[in-house]
Amino acid sequence: MWQGLLSKVFKVREKVALNLGKSDEEKPFLDHLDDLRSMLVRMAMTLLISTLVTFGFNQRLTDFVQQPYVWGMTSADAAIKEAIKADPASVDPARPAFSWKMPGTITPQEGFMASVNVSLVAAVICSFPFLLFFLLQFILPGLRDAEKKVLFPGLIIGFGLFLTGIGFSYYMVLPRALSFFAEWNFGHGFENTWMLGDYITFATRFILIFGVSFELPVVIMALVKLDFLSYKVMKSTRKHAIIGIAIFSAVITPTQDVLTLMLLAGPLYFLYEICIWLAYFMEKKDRQSYPEYYAEKEQDEAALEKESPDDWENDYNPWDQSEDNREEDEDYKRSKSTETPGEPSAEAERSEASTAEPAKPSEDEAPTEPKSDTDPKNTD
């Protein structure tokens, strides 16, 4: 299974190599596998070195990750006090007042593992341009010299989008999510006793998800470069993109309010619209550079549409069985017409067989014996 999956990836990799010349040849499977191994080793070594460096600042990084928790709890405290002041009857007087404290630990190694987790996430953020460069270097091996010069500005833009998503989540979305959970727990009578390891895992994943989500333009541009997407497809599927972005935002955002969902879905759709125009200009430039390739592609699309026309007409009714009944009648008439005139049909043979079979006497009736010629009454 893995060999088949890797084979497909390597075929796509060869397809992207548009500048195959005398020095570039199609590689066998093992050479592609060696390139994949080199990419993974480079990524692992980069993450290892970055983690060792960021671990030296683990205390500052841990305090930095806990700052949204302080903002969220402070906001929840103020909102709860304001709600109680506006409607004192909404809260049971016997219930303890809202209070919060910094996350605690329940195991001896929890604090150390939380610091390691924070250091690893910081290493991923700091080394993200290098990781993205190694990935694109493997996926896009056949870039021309002019396109390789554009690759570095593209990496800078991708890293900028990644940091934008992280900052947007850190300063706006994560404190609001924590405040929502704190208010929900207090409203249901639950005490807000959060553990350090659970909070660090939740916060780091939340931040990374937003950072990766803002890489949508990079992913779409790569798919356009690989001919999986085009300006025409993206333009005609705007409605599907809105639904997909809304579902994606609803899944990854932990809160249940519409505002938090829109805080992620709105920027993502804005980035998607930018990607549509980028795909238009990229395709326009590629048409000028590779006119024969796009002419052959348009011929193939036209031939495919001619061979398989659209059967879904506007007046199509899936519950209408008249067409099926008409086909059954035609099949029945065709089978009748193929029968030989001199030969009896199957139904006629069955009817004749049933009439030719003698009737069996019933069990109550005694069988009649045939009259013998030597009957004594008939003798002289």
Predicted TM-score (pTM) of this structure: 0.63
Mean pLDDT, residues 252-270 = 77
d(CA 210, CA 304): 40
pLDDT in tens, 264-276: 888 888 888 888 8
How many other CB atoms are there within 10 angstroms of residue 225's CB atom? Answer: 19
Closest CA to 58 of 104, 107, 118: 118
pLDDT at 359 over 70: no
Which pLDDT does position 22 carry in this prediction? 43
pLDDT averaged over every residue in the chain: 75
Contacts 24+ apart (CB under 8 A), 36-45: 36/6, 36/138, 39/134, 39/135, 39/137, 39/138, 42/134, 43/131, 43/134, 43/135
Q: Give CA separation, 296 vs 228, 243, 293, in Å.
A: 16, 33, 5
Per-residue pLDDT band at 154 (split at 50, 70, 90): confident
Beta partners for residue 195, in sequence order: 104
Contact by Cβ (8 Å): 243, 215: no
pLDDT in tens, 304-343: 666 655 544 445 455 555 666 666 677 766 766 665 555 5
d(CA 172, CA 301): 46
Contact by Cβ (8 Å): 255, 196: no
Half-sphere exposure of 170 (CA within 13 A, CB side): 14
Both tokens of 220, joined, read: 């779409």
pLDDT in tens, 74-86: 999 898 888 888 8
Both tokens of 118, joined, read: 């924070």
Closest CA to 255 of 172, 165, 338: 172
Question: In this predicted structure, which of 92-106, 142-156, 224-238, 344-358 has the lowest mean pLDDT?
Answer: 344-358
Both tokens of 227, joined, read: 């001919």
d(CA 223, CA 298): 19
How many other CB atoms are there within 10 angstroms of residue 128's CB atom? Answer: 21
Both tokens of 308, joined, read: 């398989």
Residue 166 makes CB contacts below 8 A (sequence gap 6+) with 125, 207, 208, 210, 211
For every residue of 201-235, DSSP letters joined together read HHHHHHHHHHHHHTTHHHHHHHHHHTTS--HHHHH
Between 22 and 234, the higher pLDDT residue: 234
Ordered by start, the domain boundaries in the chain are: 1-16+26-91+111-214, 224-302
Which pLDDT does position 46 carry in this prediction? 92
d(CA 220, CA 51): 30
Helix (H), strand (E) at residue 59: helix 58-86
d(CA 130, CA 136): 10
Closest CA to 131 of 40, 251, 244: 40
d(CA 68, CA 81): 20
